[in-house]
Amino acid sequence: MKQFAKYISFNILGMLGISCYILADTYFIAQWLGADGITALNLVIPAYNFINGLALMLGMGGCAKYIIYRSCQQNRQANQIFTQVLYLWLFLGVLLILTGVFFSDKIVILLGADEQTFEMSLIYLKTLLICSPLFMLNHILLYFVRNDGAPELAMKAMLIGSFSNILLDYIFIFLLDMGMFGAVFATCCSPVISILELSSFFLEDRNNFRPVNIKPNLKQCSYILFIGGASFVTEFSGGIVIIIFNLLMLKLAGNTGVASYGIIANISLVVTSVWTGVAQGVQPLLSEAYGQQKSLLLFFKSACFVVIGLFILIYGGILLFANQIAEIFNQEQDILLQNYAVQGLQYYFLGAVFAGMNILITMLFAVIEKSFQSNSISLLRGFIFIIPCTFILTSIFKTKGLWLAYPVTELFTLLVGIYFLIKNKMLAKNA
pLDDT one-digit tens code per residue, 142-155: 988 988 888 888 88
Give dist(CA 165, CA 188) in Å, integer.
8
The range of the structural domain enclosing residue 289 comes to 2-423
- Residue 301 has a CB neighbour count (10 Å cut-off) of 11
Closest CA to 221 of 98, 362, 57: 57
Runs of H (alpha helix) within 292-351: 297-328, 335-348
Query: Can you give the pLDDT at residue 284?
Result: 79
User: How large is the average pLDDT for residues 311-334?
Assistant: 89
User: How large is the average pLDDT for residues 5-11?
Assistant: 75
Q: CA end-to-end span of the chain, whole Å?
A: 18
Give dist(CA 260, CA 345) in Å, integer.
10
Inside any domain, residue 429: no
Query: Can you give the pLDDT at residue 313?
Result: 94
Inside any domain, residue 313: yes
Q: Tell me the residue type at 82.
A: F
Query: Can you give the pLDDT at residue 27?
Result: 78
* 369 or 271, which is more confident: 271
Question: Phi and psi dihedrals of 305, rounded to 5?
Answer: -65, -35
**Range with top average pLDDT, 262-271, 335-344, 408-417:** 408-417
Query: Can you give the pLDDT at residue 431?
Result: 60
- Residue 310 has a CB neighbour count (10 Å cut-off) of 19
Model confidence pLDDT, tens digit, residues 375-399: 889 889 888 898 899 999 999 998 8
User: How large is the average pLDDT for residues 171-200?
Assistant: 90
Inside any domain, residue 239: yes
Query: Can you give the pLDDT at residue 22?
Result: 65
Inside any domain, residue 229: yes
Give dist(CA 48, CA 175) in Å, integer.
26
Inside any domain, residue 48: yes
Report the predicted TM-score, pTM, of the whole model to 2 decimal places: 0.76
Number of domains in the chain: 1
Inside any domain, residue 428: no
Q: Tell me the residue type at 232.
A: F
Q: What does 375-393 look like in DSSP terms, one character per residue?
A: HHHHHIIIIITHHHHHHHH
- Residue 361 has a CB neighbour count (10 Å cut-off) of 25
Inside any domain, residue 15: yes
Inside any domain, residue 408: yes
Give dist(CA 370, CA 156) in Å, integer.
32
